[in-house]
């Protein structure tokens, strides 16, 4: 795909797979709206006052149908938006087309190369001469990373005239990032500096991105305020847990049609994502074995009836392997060689380095047979046994299915909208410093409350007397900050 | 699609959607073989002796990847095979292509019209001048029906010269059947007579088809022996139950991406299929309400924590409706009008008359919006609320997903192979009269045994002393005939 | 306890532990009545016509609160009743006291010796000079066994003058049976002959008892008609399954207070009882391993996510062992010696020979420490490790808890009442020969229907058109005889 | 029971129900030790160094078998201990007897009056002339409350000569507290002052007690350091959740023998306790309805498939009501009057004011029928319908069963031991001020780690490289402080 920016008749830029899918995308967006009461409530509550009037928002987040509803909520509140995906396989092309045609500048398609991926990220950040963005919606932190690396390189360049050297790293993806920055430096050596100066803040979606932000905060290198959306209860305890509980079996079934009942599934990691995955596999009739480093999470797994062992203990016996750790080097090629024929290996937790894809690709004599996109059988020459790797080791629920369903994403994305509103409202007050913040509990509770009606729930109301007895306001928040839910 | 039979280079007839998908089909067939130990064991055990040498087998059964492994098991045992699907939406086109190219005459594609469907059925039964088939593998009984109706019409024609009159019925599909028979009568007034005379027997896959067979047996109109595969324990208690438990959520997710957790799901009927569906919805986090006519099944549902109500009680509150009754007129258009906006309505139990599709289509002012194939939103003009109907009211797991997974179909289809072997072996012994038979328990147990190794199970062996104590042979069968499992 | 029959002021015989518990028993009986809608409906429907007028009924069935409601239903319908328990540990003494005081002749207490047990059985069958019983309600078949053995001995005695020789058997319990018969022969050599001649029939409650009956039918030695209540769907698929699902954890918790979550539980056998037990352990958070001889049941276990192994594979790793097989010699002393310290061993399926109690008791150096009644720790001298055996290897739910709860027993016992009514009504018609019968399906469905209202369920009604379509009467029965539920 | 302190032969004080149960208690304590690996590890690790040498510890915590193992761990580490229960029904008399005989001064029996309860609390705090205690283990905060109220009264008395006036409060229990303090003031007007001056600190077990502590901290009235054991993950996410999941059905079954399957259970509150209760009822086959005030918890309940309604919506339909809120006035007598006959009402969350016991007792015409201790049927005269109230509205799992099982209490109590060790070790360092502290995460993880081996779990070890990648030490702690698990 030639990397040329296209324009709609109204002059808005985009690059998507197939604009003819826009109508299909629109139909699915309309379905999703019914399932996303939090976002629709935001439109109803804030739309009239246009709070984002004048705000330029860049998003780097899986360009799915659900994200389309988020984008159109931002635009309904007055924002101008440019968007890219944060994963090469996660774009739904019909969603991208509908948004590109109707609402925002989109640069995303399913099956980008890494080169294309970073080109899209650059485009989403490129607001032209007037500058921008004012705000970033980030997922995994790649947009934030690019700016931080850009600023670092510009400062070094200014100081020493040194350009970043892609050959300085082994990491293929980071080579691309450095190349982009290097090439950019030649034409505008203050591009990222201007960007960070304009930026009001970022709201970050995921555990992984948040971890990066806290590290930068700790190192004193964070360049702008950040709101940690991931740790809203209505995000991490919903999207991570219930979203994965839904989308892991969905991805497995779409990719392989395999019967889950009766199989042995190994879930590596028992955090929120792992809890959702283990529950899903158990419910589908699999026998689940958990691997963990953390004794508390391990004990939780045991209390739910899961066996806790190491990967080495079970690698030859299990049928399905899922990584959810947020760490790297979890399933190595040495493990894969010991697996049963047609064992399924996938990752739902993090980047593709949870699974040793590099080791697999470079394994002598290995043969890759693509069953269909995102479903590959890798056959080892020594044994003639194959394993099935989903989504090339990347997030299998987005690569092989459609990611989390609308309802749970409505919780996450309502947090995003509220975080963006908060950053924008306080842009000149100095309330937010170059630190990482979480949303206050009453907003978290509000997000939940917006989703109850759709499910027919009725809340009990505290009496004043009862509220006093447990020392909370009648209207909440009802729990101390550290409450674990 | 023009209804012309095509031929492979080797001269075998076929009609499929897209022969270029044969390679993809072959890859998925190879994956499925690993998941179908029962069928692969049959190939190993019986292949060398070629027991089906000379047998011509017609199949009318969803032309999926799993069925492909069945077909190639039949051919591996020496049979010649012609095949059609038994549902207009259930064909997987890549499976059809691979089989058509490599193994058998196939007439099937996803999205047939009813006209096309019955043309395919005719083709699968049409073995040319030499006659045939010797055996039928049936699912739902349409191939059997066509022969019985054909014979009836031929006899009437012979007696009175009267041709069947398509206008004599309101049922659109039956009009097509009568038209086909009428047109055939003109060219060969003994086609079906010859067919039934040659036929050794049929093995029937489903509850619905079996019900028809027992009715014919009771009426004395059954024209050839039948083996009821459906009531093998390893079929009805596995495929119906565990298959649907897998494929209902699969179909829902592929068709609508809807979050099941938190929703209210109504499962109409709590037989084996309904039990699987209710379990699946509960496990996915839905609240399940069951409707039942049978007090025993109703009490079973209650014991699992399901609420048992009538459809009228809950029609306005639920989000997902699934029919599993095997009866007709379960969800009427009057119900659908009362449903919530975007309620999902689907059928996994039987023909499309479980849902009042006719009433829906003819509802004044109703508007159909096709989101994607097999996913339609029907909007009522009075309320402007829409409902989402899957697979046009037909089997949603086959229409919207890929049907049951390979492993459970291996159980069902191993029963089919054993039934076909039995019919063929006894073709001249008179063992089987024009009646309906079930397979003996030791064969049922054998089917199960063939599937244990794949799942790592180890059976305990009875001692002679223990066997005597409970009065069974050491090698089984272990249960009395009426044991319910 | 001296084995002397006592009499109430009204002259009715009894032998119970403590008559002062009658008031407490009465209160619990009243609670149970609310939970036993089937029995209470029988009283309402049949009470006025007194169908059992003149009938003398002997029962040999766990003398619990639930059985008390059964007995008082029989007496409410006009019967005269004598009762004993069918297990030395299963009597609830307050229930026995209330019935003895208010309603029927009871011979039962918790913790009988085997000697006492058979004395009680004799008493329950002893209707004095007028003879009796007319009907037997049996559980496990001990009352039936005694009569059959008695008749056999009397015939032998008449023929050859030979008395039965207790020394002819190794089985301690059978020695007692032979002794009783031998001693009886001396005073009345036709006691059992007269009994069998008067007997209208027996209704049998359990799998084990039914198995004995079918064996006698097969051997041609069955002396009177029998109704197999166990195989009513509303018995075997309810009491066995849901009853044990409730009472296994209940018994474990009362006996040992052990945390089930996180433990490894081995369930030997995956029939109805085993299914209930495995489900209960899984739900409580244990990891469950099933042992099976039957490949079909094994495959069912796998489909629910249970591992299927042999006892040898897991004997050293598991924490809880439950036998549910209905066979003998399942857990031998050689297994027990390999178990972890304080592993729990219990039986919920059958007689105490499922567990090798004899081997345990006679194991050299073994030491028995009674924690509390029915909870013993047996310590092996070699290892100094102990295991905890519940209820001396007998039914642990009755020995350590209170057996199945009222609601599910209401299903079973309503079948008993209906069976007894049927036998009595047809006593002179010859409808029932010396064979084993099951109740017709419409009565089975009736039993279920009587239990729906209590749980707030509403049945859907078939239209005539729908009933015709599936070829059943509008009012049922709705399923073919072999339907498996 | 006369309130006289007794003495063992060795001179240690006690007051228990029945010293002859000590042997039985000892046997059960020995069983529990095998299930409490955390406490036994503490004995092994710390026993040799006798860290509590010289420490006088008062405990006010349910005097059960599990607590006995805790007490003997404290004494094994060198402490001298006095103990009372924190609930009038929760003592297990055989545990109290064994401890009183063998290890510590115990004042506790099952079924204390409130008067007796506070007498026991006073005794446990009464270390005689030498003063004491040095440390308190508290549960619910009653020992802490007594000291705080005592100090307040002494200060007021010193200032103004005013004695506390029991008539100043409506609360019957608080009247007793004031009476005790008033009477004490007359003999020693600085008793509580001396106590607080000596006190090194308290470790508190429960949500309710912790809430009180934080309120005192906020008001500046907390008199000594406190460690919040409740909010250790290995306490609140284990004991509250998994403990109640075990002990709710246990209590229901022992108290009422009622079948849970098929029933409608209302769980008021969906915190950790409510989550455990709802899970238990669902697993046992009930249909569960949750009431909540907090929208986040409500949404969690919905995601698990529970219906969320208000008590008013369901009060007439449900069979079982459980309060878990930690608040008051949840189920009022007006609710109880609307319930079905024999609906079960119980509390597992907090004090008996969750249920309106006062309103029930004073309801005109109400009649109380005691089925057995802790199981009362209350009949309303207007309707003649009764409800069954467990444990007089107090913690039903402790009143009607034996509380949480040993394994989960081992987690909680290991936290207690570690907290007590920490307070004692730092008694002179000033590390702990008059504030509320939680244990550091590495100790929380240690508690979990001590419990893995018993369940056969094997942890995965982080490589240095992986640890760096996620920025944690190889040996943990592995999670940020606010991680929710």
Is pLDDT at C478 greater than 90 in this prediction? Answer: yes
A452: confidence class by pLDDT, cuts 50, 70, 90: very high
3-state secondary structure of C230: coil
Length of chain B, please? 485
3-state secondary structure of D15: strand
Taking the C-alpha atoms of residue D445 and residue D457, their distance in angstroms, rounded to an integer, is 15
Nearest CA in chain C to D26: C371
Is pLDDT at A329 greater than 80 in this prediction? Answer: yes
Mind telling me how many Å the CA of A406 is from chain B's nearest CA? 7
A129: confidence class by pLDDT, cuts 50, 70, 90: confident
Taking the C-alpha atoms of residue C235 and residue C229, their distance in angstroms, rounded to an integer, is 7
pLDDT at D391 (0 to 100): 97
C-alpha separations of B342 from A94, B290, B320, B376 in Å:
20, 20, 9, 10
Nearest CA in chain C to D341: C34
Taking the C-alpha atoms of residue D293 and residue D324, their distance in angstroms, rounded to an integer, is 12
Q: What is the mean pLDDT of chain D?
A: 96
**pTM, 2 dp:** 0.96
Strands (E), A287-405: 287-291, 307-308, 320-323, 343-347, 367-372, 375-379, 386-390
D131: confidence class by pLDDT, cuts 50, 70, 90: confident
Mutate to test the interface with D, among C259, C260, C386, C400 (most CBs of D within 10 A): C259
| Strand arrangement, sheet containing C343-347 | C307-308, C287-291, C264-268, C320-323, C343-347, C386-390, C375-379, C367-372
B positions 197-216 inside 8 Å of C (CB): 211, 214-215
Kindly report, residue by residue over B291-335, the tens digit of the pLDDT: 999 999 999 999 999 999 999 999 999 999 999 999 999 999 999
* A292 is annotated as contributing to ligand binding: yes
A1: confidence class by pLDDT, cuts 50, 70, 90: low
Alpha helices of C36-171 — where are they, by DSSP H? Answer: 37-46, 65-76, 93-102, 114-125, 142-160
**Is residue A66 within 8 Å of A32, Cβ to Cβ?**
yes
Question: Does residue B235 carry a catalytic annotation?
Answer: yes
| Strand arrangement, sheet containing C6-7 | C6-7, C13-15, C105-107, C80-84, C56-60, C135-138, C201-204, C226-228, C436-437
C-alpha separations of B354 from B329, B346, C471 in Å:
5, 9, 16
C-alpha separations of B412 from B48, B121, B441, D189 in Å:
23, 22, 14, 85
pLDDT at C350 (0 to 100): 78
Q: What is the DSSP string of A348-368?
A: -SSSGGGBTHHHHHTSTT-EE
**Residue D262 near chain B (CB below 8 Å):** yes
Is pLDDT at B349 greater than 90 in this prediction? Answer: no
**Is residue C276 within 8 Å of C242, Cβ to Cβ?**
yes
Which residue bears the tokens 């072996």? B425
Is pLDDT at A132 greater than 90 in this prediction? Answer: no
Mean pLDDT of D120-146: 95
Of all residues in chain B, the percent with pLDDT exceeding 70 is 100
Is pLDDT at A134 greater than 80 in this prediction? Answer: yes
Nearest to B277 by CA among B326, B228, B337: B326
Residue D406 in tokens: 């040993």
Is pLDDT at C219 greater than 90 in this prediction? Answer: yes
Q: What is the dihedral of CA D145, D150, D152, D155, to 10 degrees?
A: -160
- Give the nearest partner residue to D215 out of A292, A444, A471, using CB atoms: A471
B positions 305-324 inside 8 Å of D (CB): 305-307
Residue B382 in tokens: 């009075």
Taking the C-alpha atoms of residue C210 and residue C229, their distance in angstroms, rounded to an integer, is 8
Kindly report, residue by residue over B10-43, the tens digit of the pLDDT: 999 999 999 999 999 999 999 999 999 999 999 9
Q: Indicate the angle between helix axes D191-198 and D142-160, nearest 10 degrees.
A: 130
DSSP-derived secondary structure letter, D158: H
Mind telling me how many Å the CA of C1 is from chain D's nearest CA? 24
pLDDT at A349 (0 to 100): 82
Positive or negative torsion for Cα B20, B25, B26, B28: positive
- Give the nearest partner residue to C407 out of D32, D259, D406, using CB atoms: D259
C positions 3-32 inside 8 Å of B (CB): none
Q: Indicate the angle between helix axes C93-102 and C65-76, nearest 10 degrees.
A: 20
Nearest to B453 by CA among C298, C323, C129: C298
Mean pLDDT of B183-191: 94
Kindly report, residue by residue over A135-171, the tens digit of the pLDDT: 999 999 999 999 999 999 999 999 999 999 999 999 9
Question: Does residue C232 carry a catalytic annotation?
Answer: no
- Strand pairing report for C56-60 and C135-138: parallel
Question: Does residue C138 carry a catalytic annotation?
Answer: no
Q: Which residue has the higher pLDDT, C342 or C482?
A: C342
ipTM: 0.95
Per CB-CB distance under 8 Å, the chain B contacts of D287 are 305-307
Mutate to test the interface with C, among D257, D276, D389, D458 (most CBs of C within 10 A): D257
Q: Which H helix or E strand runs over D265?
A: strand D264-268
A positions 408-467 inside 8 Å of D (CB): 411, 444-446, 448-449, 451-452, 455-463, 465-466
C409 Cβ partners below 8 Å, 6+ apart? C36, C66, C67, C70, C239, C243, C403
Mind telling me how many Å the CA of C265 is from chain A's nearest CA? 10
Of all residues in chain C, the percent with pLDDT exceeding 70 is 100
Q: What is the mean pLDDT of chain A?
A: 96
A237: confidence class by pLDDT, cuts 50, 70, 90: very high
DSSP-derived secondary structure letter, D479: S
Q: What is the mean pLDDT of chain B?
A: 96
C-alpha separations of C481 from A347, B208, B481, C231 in Å:
49, 17, 12, 12
Q: Which residue has the higher pLDDT, A314 or D482?
A: A314
C-alpha separations of C444 from B231, C53, C159, D465 in Å:
21, 25, 44, 66
pLDDT at A350 (0 to 100): 78
Mind telling me how many Å the CA of D171 is from chain C's nearest CA? 33
**Is residue B36 within 8 Å of B72, Cβ to Cβ?**
no
Is pLDDT at D1 greater than 70 in this prediction? Answer: no
Which residue bears the tokens 């919006």? B369
Residue D213 in tokens: 């502590």
**Is residue D92 within 8 Å of D110, Cβ to Cβ?**
yes
Is pLDDT at D2 greater than 80 in this prediction? Answer: no
Kindly report, residue by residue over B104-128, the tens digit of the pLDDT: 999 999 999 999 999 999 999 999 9
Taking the C-alpha atoms of residue C32 and residue D357, their distance in angstroms, rounded to an integer, is 25
3-state secondary structure of A301: helix
Per CB-CB distance under 8 Å, the chain D contacts of C258 are 35, 405-407
Mean pLDDT of D261-267: 98
Q: How many helices (H) and strands (E) does chain A have?
A: 20, 17
Mean pLDDT of B371-389: 97
B positions 386-405 inside 8 Å of A (CB): 388, 401-402, 404-405
Mind telling me how many Å the CA of C29 is from chain D's nearest CA? 11
Taking the C-alpha atoms of residue D71 and residue D49, their distance in angstroms, rounded to an integer, is 17
Residues of C annotated in the binding site, as ranges?
64, 139, 205-208, 235, 239, 271-276, 292, 348-350, 397, 404
B129: confidence class by pLDDT, cuts 50, 70, 90: confident
Mean pLDDT of D375-396: 97
Nearest to A241 by CA among A269, A265, A211, A262: A269
Is pLDDT at B1 greater than 80 in this prediction? Answer: no
Taking the C-alpha atoms of residue D95 and residue D32, their distance in angstroms, rounded to an integer, is 11
Taking the C-alpha atoms of residue B256 and residue B387, their distance in angstroms, rounded to an integer, is 12
Which residue bears the tokens 């924490």? C319
Q: Which residue has the higher pLDDT, A246 or C1?
A: A246
pLDDT at C100 (0 to 100): 98
Mean pLDDT of A316-323: 98
Nearest to A238 by CA among A457, A408, A406: A408
Per CB-CB distance under 8 Å, the chain A contacts of D236 are 484
**Residue C242 near chain D (CB below 8 Å):** yes
pLDDT at C349 (0 to 100): 81
Is pLDDT at D101 greater than 80 in this prediction? Answer: yes
3-state secondary structure of B331: strand
**In which region does residue B367 sit, left (phi positive, over 0), alpha (psi from -120 to 50) or beta (all else)?**
beta
C-alpha separations of A335 from A314, A315, C51 in Å:
10, 7, 73
- Give the nearest partner residue to D246 out of C28, C260, C408, using CB atoms: C260
Taking the C-alpha atoms of residue B368 and residue B387, their distance in angstroms, rounded to an integer, is 10
Rg of chain D over Cα atoms, rounded to whole angstroms, equals 23
Residues of B annotated in the binding site, as ranges?
64, 139, 205-208, 235, 239, 271-276, 292, 348-350, 397, 404
pLDDT at B351 (0 to 100): 81
Across the interface, whether the CB atoms of D262 and B286 are under 8 A apart is answered no
Mutate to test the interface with A, among B241, B254, B257, B367 (most CBs of A within 10 A): B257
C-alpha separations of D426 from B276, B413, D199, D420, D429 in Å:
59, 72, 13, 10, 5
Strands (E), D93-148: 105-107, 135-138
**Is residue B275 within 8 Å of B349, Cβ to Cβ?**
no
Kindly report, residue by residue over B68-113, the tens digit of the pLDDT: 999 999 999 999 999 999 999 999 999 999 999 999 999 999 999 9
Taking the C-alpha atoms of residue A108 and residue A96, their distance in angstroms, rounded to an integer, is 7
Is pLDDT at A9 greater than 80 in this prediction? Answer: yes
pLDDT at C1 (0 to 100): 58
Mind telling me how many Å the CA of B343 is from chain A's nearest CA? 11
């Amino acid at each position: 795909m030639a990397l040329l920016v296209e324009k709609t008749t109204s002059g808005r830029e985009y690059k998507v797979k197939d604009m003819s899918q826009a109508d299909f995308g629109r139909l699915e967006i309309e379905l999703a709206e019914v399932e996303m009461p939090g976002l629709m409530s935001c439109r109803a509550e804030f739309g009239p006052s246009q709070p984002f009037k004048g705000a330029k928002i860049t998003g780097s987040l899986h360009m799915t149908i659900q994200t389309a509803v988020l984008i159109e909520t931002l635009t309904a509140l007055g924002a101008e938006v440019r968007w890219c995906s944060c994963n090469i396989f996660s774009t739904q092309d019909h969603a991208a087309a509908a948004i590109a045609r109707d609402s925002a500048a989109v640069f995303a398609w399913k099956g980008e190369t890494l080169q294309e991926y970073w080109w899209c990220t650059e485009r989403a950040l490129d607001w032209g001469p007037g500058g921008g963005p004012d705000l970033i919606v980030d997922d995994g932190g790649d947009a934030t990373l690019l700016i931080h690396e850009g600023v670092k390189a510009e400062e070094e360049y200014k100081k020493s005239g040194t350009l970043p050297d892609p050959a300085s790293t082994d990491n293929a993806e980071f080579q691309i990032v450095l190349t982009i920055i290097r090439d950019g430096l030649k034409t505008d050596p203050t591009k990222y500096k201007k960007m960070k100066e304009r930026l009001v803040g970022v709201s970050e979606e995921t555990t992984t991105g948040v971890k990066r932000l806290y590290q930068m905060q700790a190192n004193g290198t964070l360049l702008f305020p950040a709101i940690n959306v991931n740790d809203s209860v209505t995000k991490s305890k919903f999207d991570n847990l219930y979203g994965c509980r839904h989308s892991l079996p969905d991805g497995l079934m779409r990719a392989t049609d395999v019967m889950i009942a009766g199989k042995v599934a190994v879930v590596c990691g028992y955090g929120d994502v792992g809890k959702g995955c283990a529950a899903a596999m158990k419910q589908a009739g699999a026998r689940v074995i958990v691997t963990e480093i953390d004794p508390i999470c391990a004990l939780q797994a045991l209390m739910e009836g899961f066996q806790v062992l190491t990967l080495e203990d079970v690698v030859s016996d299990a049928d399905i392997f899922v990584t959810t750790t947020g760490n790297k080097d979890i399933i190595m090629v040495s493990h894969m060689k010991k697996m049963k024929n047609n064992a399924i290996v996938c990752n739902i937790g993090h980047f593709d380095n949870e699974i040793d894809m590099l080791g697999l690709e470079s394994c002598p004599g290995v043969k890759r047979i693509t069953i269909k996109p995102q479903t590959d059988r890798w056959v080892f020459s020594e044994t003639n046994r194959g394993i099935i790797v989903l989504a090339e080791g990347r997030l299998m629920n987005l690569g092989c299915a459609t990611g989390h369903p609308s309802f749970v994403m409505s919780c996450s994305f309502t947090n995003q909208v509220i975080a963006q509103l908060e950053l924008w409202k306080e842009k000149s007050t100095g309330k937010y410093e170059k630190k990482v913040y979480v949303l206050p509990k009453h907003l978290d509770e509000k997000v939940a409350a917006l989703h109850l009606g759709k499910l027919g729930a009725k809340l009990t109301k505290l009496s004043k007397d009862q509220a006093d007895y447990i020392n909370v306001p009648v209207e909440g928040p009802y729990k101390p900050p550290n409450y674990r839910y």
